[in-house]
A and B are shown apart, each in its own frame.
Chain A
Amino acid sequence: MTQRTGAARPPGEPRRVAYLYLLPAFLIYAAFLLYPIGRAVHLSFFDWDGLSLGRWAGLDNYVALVADEGLRAAFGHALVLIVFYAVVPLAIGLALAAILHHAKVRGLGFFRTVVFLPQVIAMVVVAVAWRRIYAPDGTLNSLLGALGLDSLTRGWLGDHTFALPAVGVVGTWFETGLVTVLLLAGMSRIPVELYEAARLDGAGAVKEFFAVTLPSVRGEIAVALTLTVIAALRTFDLVYVTTRGGPGDSTSVPSYEVYHRAFGLSQVGSAAAIGVTLTVVIFAISFGINRFADRGAT
């Protein structure tokens, strides 16, 4: 759009017409996004089994949600998953990207593809593969056995202590590629002059990383964190395929609870309330991350 400077009133046709152009897109947006969201909020105020007539429950579902110990644990598990999905991949990704960016390795494109590959595979396939890796007679235990670490072998996904980290590691494996590629793209935009200036000032590789590289990719870090944190909070398929929330309830997560309550237990209202709460939490965290990134940028 071109804009004439110095005009007292908006140029061209009256502004309101612009809304007309927005309308088709908005209608689709409303029909497929706003309406379902509104509907979910609506449902969360009912006690409804999905079949017979619902009963108005007011805020009961939300009150029950806060009081539900199992559900609080589920949100706690989601927070643990954030470490595995977002924090660890970011650390690995930063290190990998910095090295790749600097070393000018031959076959960078190939390497980038390999690192990114997990993202291309459907999560269900990933989960099935990892389920076999973690099985009592699976690859991981065979490897440990071959190294003489028999005492460490266990049914990883069936162990109350290790099931959640085991699920988390799959997330790390899955997200690291995405983060690395994002950061690489960001680093490639950093002007070489900055590095030259840093080097002239006598900065070493580490100093250079913290003084030049890290601040320059702040935007990419925000994007990566937003994407991975959301992925962590809405983890469903991975838990559904690997553990179904078990053993006990040690890997239950909010998204799985939504599915489970709506389709397994016929508590559609309660499921909707969890969904809405999860949406708000995701929104708040993403908002926080972006605020943090923006503030740094200015």
Chain B
Amino acid sequence: MNAPTREVRSTRSPGSRTLAVLAAAALALTACAPGSSAPPAATPSQPSASAVRTDAATLGDVTLTVWDQEVRGGQAAQMKQLNAAFEAKYPNIKLNRVSRSFDDLNTTLRLALSGNEPPDVVEANNGRSSMGAFVKAGQLLPLDSYAEAYGWKDRYPESVLRYSRYSADGKLFGEGNLYGLPQVGEVVGIFYNAAKLTELGLEPPKTWEEFQAALAKAKAAGEVPMQLGNLDKWPAVHVFGTVQSREVPADQIRTLAFGRRGASWNTPENTRAAQQLVDWVGEGYFNKGFNGQGYDPAWQAFGKGEGVFMIAGTWLLADLQKNLGDDVGFILPPGATAGAAPVATGGTGLPFAITAKSPHPDAAAAYIDFITSADAMKVLTDTGNLPVADTAAQKVPEGPQQDVFSAFGTVTAKNGLVPYLDYATPTFADTLGAALQDLLAGKASPQEFLATLEKDYKTFAESNG
């Protein structure tokens, strides 16, 4: 990759631009293969539990570079507070914090990790194209021995930890080594406007049938039954995931969503789920022009009182509460019966991981432990976030925040979280997003829609071994 002589050599070519380009190309072709300056994709060795040091105060003077994406409201507040507390507790460890928005972090992290001096702690997105690719390239440190030393596995439910697990070669997602630890949880459920429900003479639905009946009643009363802004392609993924998890058994969804062999999209259950979405469009349950409405304008409209229900993730709570106050409510998507085991799409915030090249893994692990400790979970709660662990132990005021906390607590305790469908393959976010836009616009039938998904899933699952 570094061939400083190349420019000089190419001066031999005459002034003609085309020839120069060709010459440069020819020279470049003979140069080394891309990525050859990166370390060989060997698995970083895992320190044994007895070898790791958890006494951060005795690690000497250390500067940790941390890349996070906690830039918004409550997220930024908790990070600032926890970082200050960490530095106060361990004066020998200095934090060099770099925070960027989610999108910016995602695009720059790749380059930063392949450099020779990557940051020590990074927030890496769980999916295959981020964390999976980094694991495959040997850029992240497996954290199992730290997990044991710090007792992370006792405090974090396995249904949460598996979102940060990969096999050492990065091929299997959802099992294997632990590569990161998240601070916050999230679950996709149904937001409702309590005032509108009362107006319509309805209670928050306890079964899926009641939910559909409520939609019909809202439509008949001239309300917008459900808000959706699908211009950004991915929002309908959450709606589909919610409907799908009513029909398809949870273990099948996990196999599909983790991109493992042994399941299929072409099943009667998936067809029913797709058909239900089409029916909802036909009944006019979504706002007009939802495919051309942005995600943000859609939830903002819901916040202004347009729409009775909205299928979305808990991350919208704080913003919705600002507008609707206690009129906003949140429930897990109800099952066939009121007592059915809860199943919902959900997962964690971005997990914090340690880079393989970090010279201070012990200090880095101490930092991760600090920002995910029981005390940290309290700070997260106080700053309006949804802590991923010890959720039930938090005291929050009654109302929407408690709705969200108990929903997440219930679904994790019952092991009912199913992964985001776009985790399945590196290309699946795009395939599914585009296919859903086609399905919802009536450009593709449920069968065509599922065939598109099946093709992407099968191609990947089979080549991935």
Report which A residues bind B (CB closer than 8 A): 22-23, 26-27, 30-31, 34-35, 37-39, 41-43, 45-46, 48-56, 131, 134-137, 141, 153-160, 163, 243-249, 260, 263-266, 268
Contact = CB atoms under 8 A, between A and B. Distances in A.
B72 to A, nearest CB: 19
A51 B7 contact: no
Given A35-B24, A41-B25, A158-B293, A265 B34 contact: no
Interface stretch (B142-150, B266-274, B282-290, B394-402): B282-290
Contacts of A131: 231, 294
Nearest to A242: B231
A30 B288 CA distance: 53
B183 interface: no
A42 B430 contact: no
20 contacts: A30-B24, A34-B21, A42-B28, A49-B136, A50-B110, A51-B133, A52-B137, A54-B33, A153-B288, A154-B289, A154-B292, A155-B290, A158-B231, A159-B291, A246-B233, A246-B437, A248-B435, A249-B434, A260-B430, A263-B106
Contacts of B34: 42-43, 46, 48, 53-54, 268
Nearest to B128: A266
Contacts of B437: 158, 246-248
Contacts of A50: 35, 110, 114, 133
Contacts of B20: 30, 34
Contacts of B137: 49, 51-52
B7 A155 contact: no
A248 B33 contact: no
A223 to B, nearest CB: 19
A45 B26 CA distance: 12
Nearest to A261: B427
Interface residues of B, number: 56
A41 B31 CA distance: 12
Contacts of A46: 33-34
A137 B293 CA distance: 8
Contacts of A157: 231, 292
Contacts of B38: 51-53
A41 B24 CA distance: 9
A56 B33 contact: yes
B434 A246 contact: yes
B196 to A, nearest CB: 19
A26 B136 contact: no
Contacts of A53: 33-36, 38, 40-41
A244 B233 CA distance: 8
Contacts of B438: 160, 247-248
Interface of B is mostly: helix
Which interface residue of A30, A134, A154 has the most chain B CB atoms within 10 A? A30
A248 B441 contact: yes
A42 B23 CA distance: 12
Contacts of A22: 15
Given A42-B29, A46-B34, A136-B287, 4 more contacts: A52-B35, A52-B38, A153-B289, A159-B441
A201 to B, nearest CB: 45
A131 B178 CA distance: 41
Given A41-B25, A135-B292, A265 B297 contact: no
A131 B35 CA distance: 39
A147 B21 CA distance: 56
Contact of A27 (B7, B25, B40): B7
Contacts of B434: 245-249
Going nearest first, the 9 A-B pairs with the smallest beta carbon separation are A155-B292, A155-B289, A158-B292, A158-B291, A136-B289, A38-B24, A42-B28, A51-B137, A247-B437
B107 interface: yes
B433 interface: yes
Given A41-B28, A46-B33, A248-B434, A265 B291 contact: no
B294 A135 contact: yes
Contacts of A247: 230, 291-292, 434, 437-438, 441
B288 A136 contact: yes
Given A49-B133, A155-B288, A265 B21 contact: no
Contact of B25 (A23, A38, A153, A154): A38
B129 interface: yes
A264 B231 contact: no
Contacts of B231: 131, 155, 157-158, 243-244, 246
Given A42-B28, A131-B294, A35 B6 contact: yes
A30 B24 CA distance: 9
B33 A266 contact: no
Contacts of A266: 129, 133, 426
A158 B287 contact: no
B38 to A, nearest CB: 7
B312 to A, nearest CB: 18
Contacts of A45: 29
Nearest to A166: B292
B247 interface: no
A45 B301 CA distance: 48
A55 B38 CA distance: 14
A232 B21 CA distance: 24
Nearest to A248: B438
A148 to B, nearest CB: 17
B21 to A, nearest CB: 6
B121 to A, nearest CB: 19
